[in-house]
């Protein structure tokens, strides 16, 4: 039951992420920072892709994904279509991985230490949905703020 709910939430919010990236009127604005906003929408998008491909793809799906977290925040001017393609690939990976998961696995200890204490796989997956939503809200706010500065 929870696996299908998680799949719905990941798909919903990753598709919203694509919509947010598509809604930037000026592609260069995806990479702008202003005032105390230190992370651009593009960097947050790369961070979400890296985060989900690490904790779901690599650890649960055994994809072999290699994360470079530093590049998630230092890369600049990745084309919009490339960002969207990375998100689409992440959606496919999540669907394939969650489709193979068994409900019994959710109660087992997540394979690596992510926080100060070990957690269940279910806890980590729920955390990842809230992490995605948190950054999705930041991206939405970033887009509206940057575009209001243009007026």
Written as one string, the DSSP assignment of 75-124 is: -----HHHHHHHHHHHHHHHHHHHHH--HHHHTSBPSS--SSS--BHHHH
Q: Report percent pLDDT > 70 for the chain.
A: 98
Q: Note the pLDDT of residue 150.
A: 62
Residue 151 has pLDDT above 70, yes or no: no
Give the mean model confidence (pLDDT) for residues 60-73.
97
Q: Report percent pLDDT > 90 for the chain.
A: 91
Residue 92 · residue 85 · CB < 8 Å: no
Residue 149 has pLDDT above 70, yes or no: no
Judged by DSSP in three states, 37 sits in: strand
pLDDT in tens, 93-125: 999 999 999 889 999 999 998 999 999 999 999
Q: Note the pLDDT of residue 8.
A: 98
Torsion angles phi and psi, residue 109, rounded to 5? -70, 135
pLDDT in tens, 15-47: 999 999 999 999 999 999 988 889 999 999 999
Complete domains list, the chain, with CATH: 2-149 (1.20.120.450)
Across the chain, mean pLDDT equals: 95
């Amino acid at each position: 039951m929870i696996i299908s709910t998680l799949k719905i939430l990941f798909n919903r919010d990753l598709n919203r992420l694509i919509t947010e990236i598509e809604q930037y009127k000026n592609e260069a604005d995806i990479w702008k920072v202003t005032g105390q906003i230190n992370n651009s929408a593009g960097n947050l998008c790369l961070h979400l892709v890296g985060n989900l491909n690490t904790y779901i793809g690599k650890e649960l799906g055994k994809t072999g994904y290699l994360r470079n977290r530093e590049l998630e925040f230092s890369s600049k001017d990745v084309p919009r279509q490339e960002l969207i393609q990375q998100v689409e690939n992440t959606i496919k990976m999540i669907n394939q991985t969650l489709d193979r998961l068994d409900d019994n696995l959710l109660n087992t200890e997540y394979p690596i230490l992510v926080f100060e204490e070990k957690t269940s796989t279910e806890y980590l997956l729920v955390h990842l949905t809230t992490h995605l939503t948190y950054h999705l809200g930041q991206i939405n706010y970033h887009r509206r703020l940057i575009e209001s500065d243009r007026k």
